[in-house]
Amino acid sequence: MGGKKRKESSSSYSSKSSSNKKKFINALGKLNADKQHDVSIQAKKKQQPQSSTVILKGTKNFRQRLICSLLSGKPVKIEEIRNRDERPGLRPFEANLLRLLDKMTNGTKIEINVTGTTLFFRPGFITGGKIRHDCGTERGIGYYLEALIPLALFAKSPVKATLLGITNDNHDLSVDLIRTALLPGLQKTFNLPTSLQLKIQARGAPPKGGGEVLFTSPIVKQIKPILLVDEGKIKRMRGLAYSTRVSPQTANRMVDSARGLLNHWIPDVYIYTDHYKGEESGKSPGFGLCLVSESTTGVIYSAEEMAMGNQAVLPEALGRKSAELLCEEISNGGCVDTSCQSIYFLLMAISEESVSKIRAGKLSTYSIQFLRHLKDFFAVTFKVKADTDSNTILLSCLGAGLKNFSKKST
């Protein structure tokens, strides 16, 4: 019986040993399969394109580089920022722009070296929402609005931004030109919602500012491709003569001078006057004139000129200068205002994966450099062809197909 028991025990042990061996072999096979699966996953990860850092030098197109970085998701490193100047590094208004972009995004990483001559910018997620920002007095509010407009369209939620500072100066686009020329032009050309608006709540002239504007923007799913090559004929001209902390007659004198020139070319000219008093007039005196013309095909041209209260400029001279600048802009031809070229080119580059085409007049050096940045960040190359018959330039590109996944399809 003892031998029988040992035999049974041996048989039992043999069967258990065989069963364990099979389990071990199966487990080993599964482990090897898992390893192979892990290797294949790692291989796939390595094959996926990584967002490589774009390395640039100098401060030209500083805003546009940051805009492209946020929209493309590619980090950017900017070196040699005024490294040979007496005051090397970023200027206060550039640092202020970085603070504004940080407010509008989540997860953005900004690194600046001790001397301020090197900036590393890793873009985060564009959140949008309510923003209040003091733009300071070194640059106009338009400097910051040019960055906000394209970014706001691709935010997570609609943007409602209150910006404080200088509303009109001769260095940046004025809030009047953005409100009457840039935004309406974008709405017509790219079929953007009419809720893209700018309201002037208080004016602020240099050097002390004191202005306030409210910028509201919806979000879009994608930008539509455009075909804008027909200039049309000028059918009407409109304008706005504004004055703050100076005589109300200043605006009327600018209007009479500008109309004296423009009425020689077209009868439909109307220029509004806008005089601000009290708290809405800002902290410094100033006056200026913004003119806009519209063609039969909806093309908008614009020009502006302003003077600070402490400058010895006659309102009549300023009005005539503004009218001459508008006539010069119209004579350049094209279907896009020279001051608005860069934002049109940007929206074309990130539009749906289809061909967009536009006719432009004289390309500014700013726009030419920006076309190179669009290739760096979005791999979008513009085809440029001169039209000798009209002395204009035809530009076309295939859109990168940027989508805003926060916007639900309707």
Span 188-232, pLDDT tens digits: 999 999 999 999 999 999 999 999 999 999 999 999 999 999 999
- Range with the poorest average pLDDT among 24-33, 221-230, 344-353: 24-33
- pLDDT above 50 (res 265): yes
Backbone φ and ψ for 228, nearest 5 degrees, come out as -130, 90
Cα three-residue angle 294-299-304, rounded to 5 degrees: 60
Q: Averaged over 46-64, what is the pLDDT?
A: 77
Structure tokens at 97: 């722009």
Name the average pLDDT for the chain: 87
In the three-class reduction of DSSP (H, G, I as helix; E, B as strand; rest coil), residue 349 is classed as: helix
- pLDDT above 60 (res 40): no
Burial of 383 per CB tally in 10 Å (0-12, 13-18, 19+): exposed
- pLDDT above 80 (res 4): no
Q: Averaged over 138-154, what is the pLDDT?
A: 97
Cross-strand bridge partners of residue 111:
120
Structure tokens at 124: 């985060």
- Superfamily of chain region 54-228+337-398: RNA 3'-terminal phosphate cyclase domain (3.65.10.20)
Per-domain boundaries in the chain: 54-228+337-398, 234-332
Distance CA 81, CA 91 (A): 10
Only one residue has tokens 């002239």, namely 205
CATH entry 3.30.360.20 includes domain 234-332: yes
Backbone φ and ψ for 407, nearest 5 degrees, come out as -90, 120
Residue 309 pLDDT? 59
Structure tokens at 391: 């002395």
- pLDDT above 90 (res 180): yes
Residue 21 pLDDT? 43
Q: Averaged over 159-181, what is the pLDDT?
A: 95
Q: Averaged over 21-44, what is the pLDDT?
A: 38
Crossing angle, helix 141-153 and helix 341-349, to 10 degrees? 20
Q: Averaged over 318-332, what is the pLDDT?
A: 96
